[in-house]
Amino acid sequence: MIRISHLSKVYPGGVTALRDISLEVRPGEVISVIGPSGCGKSTLVRCIEGLEAPSAGTIETGSSRLGMVFQQFNVFPHLSVLDNVTLGPVKLRGIPREEAEQRGMELLRTVGLAEKARRMPDSLSGGQKQRVGIARCLSMDPDVLLFDEPTSALDQTMKTEVFGVISELAKQGMTMVIVTHELEFARKVSTRVLFMHDGEICEEGTPEQVFDHPQKTLTQIFIRNRRSLIFQVDSREYDLYKFNADIEWFCQRNHLGKKYFTLELITEELLTHFLPFSGPIHFRIYLNDEKKLAMEIEQESCSSPIVDSPEADEISLMILQGLCASIRERQEGASRFLDIVVNDVYNQD
């Protein structure tokens, strides 16, 4: 359906966004493109859509029609929801207005917005706008749908709305290329996952291959980092609110619900009563192989026990032990490590 060969893109400023990319999109495929920010994944779909001119290489789309869904929705604010989905058919394909409106209502029904047909887009939420954007694409009967980070500008509930619509389209066999940061969603919906790094396709395969058994180091680091939270504390004057906000965001992203509360208690207890601040402290919060919430803490320039120390406050120690399923301490060079598995009892929502 789409055949890309040796595609390169260099922006006028000299920034190379894509290097020699070759890719084939076959009918019925749902391809997710993942990768760190600035890896060129957005540029790739923008090139396919024709919004950016390639610097080298070719993109063959044959007779297939493409539609694109944008990160910022780009719905037409001067037209009602229904007019947004009839503008293309009426003006571009000469379909009579009545027929176009009937079809438009059907499309709005499929994205769940039929009752909002007469509303202006400015009165809709972000998730609803994005669904209008999808319906507008569908109004032109595309063969391939391209999504450029369709949920990045949305909060969790709105993301879920939009994911629902995209999953439904996937079920109906729509061919799609989705640029996204949502790994869990990509795993559920895709038939193929591309991991891009620095303008190149670094690794590709089924979701299981890429997410669970990545072959390339870059992919491994990316997947692991996406699933862990890293935070560094240098002194007692650390930014508590930033740390807590990061923890909450991490939990939200990994669908861990209210578990952030337990994590916050543990980190606060450790920072207030146990860690000696003998040097920088590195926190890594992650899901271990048994899908349990775990934490690794490295205290630099420390060789004495932290939790097992005789000076430890008894009450604090009791609280900490109650919050954690296990606490293990080890020494590596000049650093003292704590390995903690969070207690499941407190992991209930």
Partner 1 sequence: MGRRAFRLLGCLLLLLLVVSCASEKRREIRACSDLEHGNVGVLTGRSNDRAVRALFPDAELYYFEDLVSMCMSLQSGHIDAFACMETGVDGLLARNPGFRVLEGVPEILDTAAVAFREDNLLLAGQFNEFLRGILADGTMDAIRANWLAADAPGVHYHPHAKEGTPLSVGIEAGQTFFTVIREGEGAGLEPEMMLRFGDYLGRPVRFVEMTNPGMIPALFSGKVDALVSAIAPTRSRAGRVLFSTPYDISPVCLVVAGAAPPQVRKSAWSSLKENFHESLIADNRFELILEGLKNTLLITFLSVIFGFLLGCGLCWMKRRGPRWAEAFSHGYCEIVEGIPIVVLLLFMFYVVFATSPLTAIVVAVITYSLHFAAGAAECLERSIESVDKGQWEAGKALGFSRFGTFRYVIAPQAVRQFLPLFKGKAVGLIENTSIVGFIAIEDMTKVTDIIRSQTYDSLVPLVVVGVIYFLIARLISVGLDKLGDHLNFKVK
Residue closer to partner 1, measured from CB, 46 or 192: 46
Q: How far is the CB of 77 from partner 1 (least distance, A)?
A: 7
10 Å CB burial of residue 14 (0-12, 13-18, 19+) is: exposed
> Which of these, 23, 327, 341, 335, lies nearest to 200 by C-alpha position?
23
Residues 83-102 contacting partner 1, CB under 8 A: 87-88, 91-92
State yes or no: residue 287 binds partner 1 (CB under 8 A): no
- In sequence order, what are the residues at sequence separation of 6 or more whose Cβ sits closer than 8 angstroms to the Cβ of residue 324? 266, 340, 341, 342, 343
Q: Is 137 in the site for partner 1 (CB under 8 A)?
A: yes
Instruction: Please state, as a whole number, how many other Cβ atoms lie within 10 Å of the Cβ of residue 307.
Output: 20
Q: Would you call 132 exposed, middle or buried from its count of C-beta atoms within 10 A (0-12, 13-18, 19+)?
A: buried
Shorter beta-carbon distance to partner 1: residue 118 or 255: 118
Between 49 and 203, whose beta carbon lies closer to partner 1?
49
Tokens of 179: 């640029």
Nearer Cβ to partner 1 (153/341): 153
Provide the minimum distance between the beta carbon of 308 and partner 1 in the complex, in angstroms, as a whole number. 58
Measured in whole angstroms, how far is the alpha carbon of residue 281 from the centre of its chain?
Answer: 28
Q: Is 71 helix (H, G, I), strand (E, B) or coil?
A: coil
Residue 155 CA: distances (Å) to CA of 163, 231, 252, 253, 259: 12, 23, 10, 11, 19
**70/222 with CB nearer partner 1:** 70
122 binds partner 1 (CB under 8 A): yes
Residue 120 interacts with partner 1 (CB under 8 A): yes or no: yes
Binding mask 140-179 for partner 1 (x = CB under 8 A): x---------------------------------------
Longest dimension (CA), the chain: 83
3-class secondary structure, 186: helix
When the beta carbons of 66 and 256 are compared against partner 1, the nearer one is: 66
Q: What is the contact mask toward partner 1 in residues 20 to 49, using x (rule: CB under 8 A)?
A: -----------------------------x
Q: What is the β-pairing status of strands 2-10 and 16-25?
A: antiparallel
Least Å distance, CB 78 to partner 1, is 5
Residues of this chain, 49-78, that bind partner 1 according to CB under 8 A: 49-51, 65-68, 70, 72, 74-78
- Does 119 engage in binding with partner 1 (CB under 8 A)? yes
Residues of this chain that interact with partner 1 (CB under 8 A) are: 49-51, 65-68, 70, 72, 74-78, 80, 87-88, 91-92, 118-120, 122-123, 133, 136-137, 140
